Structure 1
């Protein structure tokens, strides 16, 4: 075998080994996954806090969620799933830095939830969870990172306001506000029903929620505490921006996959109507 043939043979063997390494694997426990990029060697343990980017799609490539497009990864604890071959169980086969596709049988997933198959999902097919494990933290590490974030939040908020809204007024409860358009009449009181439009944003400007119109009673726990406090400063026709600290928003728990723990938020609110109690 000459040198050229040896090189080609070595390349072929390497290619075969690489394909074998990243083949679709199905374990005895029913986990089915394919590694695309290998990170660390230490497997995820139950109770670890995971930061993940993921895209969920059907075999027909109908996309149901894509955190890369949303611009915000999800944080979830590593927990055993409710059925064999679940996405949650397959995560225990992965490590920090891994990129993989997890395959989950739709019959098992939606059957367990007692829900019909959504449009774009064929019977007896599989959902594809393309996932990137961005970080893995132990419970202790995660709690420490939350405490550090909580302790530094006041300065983060103050610096943000100084840069973006230098004319904003700080309330005693820690909310900052800046009024773009004054309203008329009496201010909102507890029990009043208001009709508003709003845009909710993170400090980086990314919009996480908006609604027009939105109607609710004030001061009765239908919205976050910061909203109940903010609305009581407003009059009909008023348009204001409120910077709300996390303890008056979603606090240490956050809000599902959308809002991380200890996230101060920005809301542009316009008040259209006040229904007096």
Structure 2
């Protein structure tokens, strides 16, 4: 499947500059788990992560699921019932927080004329696979029952969050639950990657459910229409391209967009990467088109 290519002379230079900034951040001399805990406490730098879109209202809420309570933040562009987008941060299944992606979540709400729910799902190694996957799947049901939307639901996210979104759609299909109306997958990790830092913590056993590695599903038929975003300088680019191709082959309406010469996680850094800003607007336009919403 040939992607739509989004390119700019600025993408490469902006990516190089940001990678240098990130490489210069000191690494604490502690064991890997303590380093992970410290990383989870870091607050995003607005100079690279941006700030919430001022056009939306923010509300924190708690989602009560069997045996646990999850934190979430709601971004509303309109007080009228609108489609609800469950949006999931990345972080390799072991890190990340909804505060890391406030610009993206709020920007999608504003540009898409939708309500966005950004979720803090459970993380490994404390809660390995499939804990986060079940959080996302059950939160979709919770949203249908408790939030005042217009009945249409989208699930999407970034990196590990995109993998959980894809997996939740597979679970819904296979268990006969209501499917989201659309899935938006930004540079997802969709297969086993044994060399990744997070692999052994997220997959501590060989008993891996298919929904946790969506590329290994026997068929993708019956899944929701899909918007897939890939990054040209991302080691996970093959996952995105392969999944988009399989979706299309299995009859799922699929749009594949690749951002040339930019990095994994570029949506986390919209203040530094124009590719991130463009992608937030593109996702918003895609949602407006899917739901025939007027431009904000």
- The two structures share one fold, judged by TM-score above 0.5: no
Q: TM-score, normalised by structure 2?
A: 0.22
The two structures have a TM-score, normalised by structure 1, of 0.23
More helix by share: 2
Greater relative contact order structure (CA < 8 Å, 6+ sep): 2
